[in-house]
Structure 1
């Protein structure tokens, strides 16, 4: 069996009584977390790790900061329970990844990464670590696959779950700009619901393409994931 973990939501640092306090934004609401919990969550932001990989990374980090590392399992369990970390278990890597993503929605980062990339390159240029031509090269947009571009066009209209994205690929859907269009294009049978869609999409010929593209978009910081 394989188990994968990833971060759900985004974060904010707020100043309270002169101290910077971390919060995780989930479904539009700020969720308070402890420092060990935030450290654990941030290790998974834009990454997918197994239990063993996450365990090692957490303990190495806690030793550097001299924070008691014994809270790993308790913090991980609590974050999964609060749906701030998503978890998937399966006999294969593909099954574990699908089970991890099946109840999550893909949320595009609108313009944030482009601005951050520009600032980082400008900083390198100012520090004379790159020359003008190298800076221009670094600012070129990353090449994306057809499936990645298609998913981005869909989720820029409305957040969609991975099973819903699979159904969009199956039905050649491009317009999901309203709730009515989502329902008519994706939930085509009267008996369709999220659970039935999850089961059907897990067997779809398009599952691999959607999983690979979604994972690449997440790992390259173009989208975040929100737990349903």
Structure 2
């Protein structure tokens, strides 16, 4: 059984008594975190990792930051899973685990702003983590595939979960606004996002769509919200 992990929400710094304090914003709610929780959450932001991969990255980031962690990774991981700031998906195959991870999560397009990207790259350059010749490549926008563009277009019109998006694209259902989701995808009064996720059967025809969603997330063009 394969288990995959990722983070939900977006990181923002909230001014508390004149000091910037990191908070994760998920579903329009603010969640404060300890420095250890922030480190774990940051490891999984725009990443999809197994536990061993997360453990290696966590240990590396701890060493790089000089941060001493008194409790094991599993302690902070379980706390963040309980708080809904991290999610996991389990499956007998990688595709199944990926779908179980992302199926109920709502897709939110990320606004691509040049100045923040430039500032981030410049900061990495001043720290010696980026070579001068690599800067143009890092500032260049990642090109989207036709399927990725279709996913972004749909997600820009309505707040769709991954399962809802797969179903709408598979059935050719036209989604123009939020109301269309309930009217065209939820055909039974008993239907919920969870039951819809269980109903959708991943087929080979849907692999490219699921891959497009994953690639957009890994390339920081979308983020996930847990409703």
What TM bracket, shorter-length normalisation? 0.7 to 0.9
TM (normalized to structure 2)? Answer: 0.85
Q: Give matches, 1:155-194, under 5 Å.
A: 155-179=155-179, 181-189=180-188, 192-194=191-193
Q: Corresponding residue for 1:84?
A: 85
Q: 1:206 to 1:159 in 2, by over 3 A?
A: farther
Post-superposition Cα deviations, 1:192-213, rounded to whole Å, max 9, x if no partner, equal 4323321232344543122101
Q: Corresponding residue for 2:215?
A: 216
Q: 1:74 to 1:94 in 2, by over 3 A?
A: same
Q: 1:192 to 1:18 in 2, by over 3 A?
A: closer
Q: CA deviation at 1:104?
A: 0.6
Asked if 1 retains the 8 angstrom alpha-carbon contact of 2:154 and 2:175, the reply is yes
Q: Corresponding residue for 1:94?
A: 95
Comparing 34-43 with 196-205, greater Cα deviation is found at: 196-205
Q: Give matches, 1:1-228, under 5 Å.
A: 1-17=1-17, 19-64=19-64, 65-112=66-113, 114-119=114-119, 129-130=132-133, 135=136, 140-179=140-179, 181-189=180-188, 192-228=191-227
Q: 1:156 to 1:76 in 2, by over 3 A?
A: same
Q: CA deviation at 1:139?
A: 5.4
Asked if 1 retains the 8 angstrom alpha-carbon contact of 2:168 and 2:175, the reply is no
Q: 1:11 to 1:123 in 2, by over 3 A?
A: closer
Runs of 4+ in 1 over 4 A off after TM superposition: 118-125, 137-140
Gaps of 5+ in 1: none
Q: CA RMSD in A?
A: 2.8
* Mapped partners of 2:14, 2:147: distance in 1: 37
* Mapped partners of 1:209, 1:70: distance in 2: 40
Q: CA deviation at 1:147?
A: 1.4
